């Protein structure tokens, strides 16, 4: 029983640390490209949703 509680405690700490890392890098999450903010990329780049994250890509002509 004590080992189960230790495991749960370690799991909570681990998940909390992951949450801190994710929230600290200001990642914009998305499902479609429309979910991305229009002002996150500098001039000459466009935002695109890729693997549930908004990224900046060079404009293709």
Domain containing residue 34: 2-58
Task: Read off the pLDDT of residues 31-60 as tens digits, 9 standing for 90 and up.
Answer: 998 888 878 888 888 889 988 888 888 877
The helix/strand/coil state of 15 is helix
Q: How far is CA 4 from the centre of its chain?
A: 30
Task: Read off the pLDDT of residues 4-28 as tens digits, 9 standing for 90 and up.
Answer: 999 999 999 988 887 766 665 566 7
Partners of 45 in the beta sheet? 58
pLDDT value at position 1? 86
Partners of 29 in the beta sheet? 53
H/E element holding 45? Answer: strand 45-50
pLDDT value at position 24? 56
Count of domains for the chain:
1
């Amino acid at each position: 029983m004590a080992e189960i509680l230790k495991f749960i405690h370690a799991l909570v700490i681990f998940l909390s640390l992951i949450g801190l890392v994710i929230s600290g890098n200001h990642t914009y999450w998305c499902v479609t490209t429309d979910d991305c903010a229009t002002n996150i990329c500098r001039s000459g780049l466009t935002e695109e949703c890729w693997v549930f994250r908004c990224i900046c890509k060079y404009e293709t002509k």
